[in-house]
Amino acid sequence: MKTRASDQTFGALLISPAGAFVFCIAIYPIARVLWLSFFAQNLATSLQPKFVKIDNYIRLANDGHFFATLRTTLFFTFVSVVIELVLGLAFALLLNQRFRGRAIARAAMLVTWALPTAVLAWAWSWIFNDQFGVMNDLLHRVGILARPIAWLGSGSTALFAVIFADVWKTAPFVMIILLAGLQNVSGELHEAAAIDGANSWKRFRFVTLPLLMPSIMVALLFRAIQSFGIFDLIFVMTGGGPGGATETLAIYTYNTYLRYLDFGYGSAMIVTSFLLMALCATLLYWPLSRTRGAQFATE
């Protein structure tokens, strides 16, 4: 038998190449951002770093625009994730049935998930185009709209449009996770409940849903975190406009770095919004780890 120590050495050897990549390309940048956040490095300092202690954070605490983008981000995240979960659950329940053409339906959803967001964002800006967009045309044809709406031209409709596109793009991801969860729900429990006289809604509510909770929490956590960092969809569809109505934290941070060349301040923005995100994720993860712990206690 090989000894524990040689396992350790051999293992370290196998991990080290991947470890080196993760250290240099993922961990070092985090440290670098943290470091930069205590410096002023912008056009006023001729892009030279100058140590300013916590001035960037003080400036951030008084930056109304930062809080406006934070509100937009939270609103976007909350609304889109809730709709995605409901729609994704509906898709999963549908695909959990046996029917002819199920493979085609699943492939259609998978295609939606696999396509590049930055590219499909163009498709959505064309759909929501004010003059020649198909959304206006369809709504006009069925008699909902009397005159075309400039969807991406005014604040509230633009936010609605990007949420709409985000829901379309990511509900299939939720579906995949929940479908896997559904397939672990045993038919026996359903039969037992049916014999006890539970109708299909009651069986869903008291058998399926509780057993599906761990999967729902996983999907929720993934989607909430990705939504919070949303960049590509909004960058292409509205660029954060009109008038900052769809400007999320990631867009504001991007502009602070590359448009205003304010590297220290941008870094403080990242550290702050990241800590907020970690806090939210922990609050979400706490119940998640408890439900999972119960389910996988035998593992």
Partner 1 sequence: MKRVSFYALVWLVVLWCLAPFLWQIVTSLKTNAEIAALPVTYIPRHAGLEHYDALFTRKPFARYLLNSFVISGTSTILCVGLSALAAYAVSRLRMRGSRLMLAALVVISLFPPIIFFFPLYEMMRAAGLLNHPLALIIPYTTFNLPFSIIVLATFFRGVPRDIEDAAKVDGLGRLQILWRIILPLSTPALATTAILVFIFAWNEFLFALTFMTNDRAKTITAGIATLSGTTVHETPWGPIAAAVVVSTIPLILLVAIFQRRIVQGLIAGAAKG
Chain residues 105-124 in contact with partner 1, contact rule CB under 8 A: 105-112, 114-120, 122-124
Query: The tokens of 99 are what?
Result: 């029917």
Whether 42 contacts 263, CB under 8 Å: yes
Return the residues of window 134-193 that contact partner 1 according to CB under 8 A.
134, 137, 168, 172-173, 176-177, 179-180
Residue with smaller CB distance to partner 1, 92 or 193: 92
Note whether 258 binds partner 1 by CB under 8 A: yes
Task: Give the dihedral of Cα atoms 21, 284, 111, 150; nearest 10 deg.
Answer: -110
Note whether 250 binds partner 1 by CB under 8 A: yes
CA distance 23 to 21: 5
CA distance 238 to 259: 16
CA distance 242 to 128: 14
Per-residue interface string for the shown chain with partner 1, residues 266-285, x marking contact by CB under 8 A: xx--x---x--x---x----
Note whether 290 binds partner 1 by CB under 8 A: no
Residue with smaller CB distance to partner 1, 35 or 206: 35
Return the residues of window 19-48 that contact partner 1 according to CB under 8 A.
19, 21-22, 24-30, 32-33, 36
Q: What's the closest the beta carbon of residue 172 comes to partner 1, in angstroms?
A: 7
Q: What's the closest the beta carbon of residue 82 comes to partner 1, in angstroms?
A: 18
First-residue to last-residue Cα distance in the chain: 26
CA distance 23 to 19: 6
Segment lying near partner 1 (by CB under 8 A), choices 42-50, 74-82, 202-210, 257-265: 257-265
CA distance 160 to 171: 16
Whether 291 contacts 217, CB under 8 Å: yes
Residue with smaller CB distance to partner 1, 132 or 196: 132
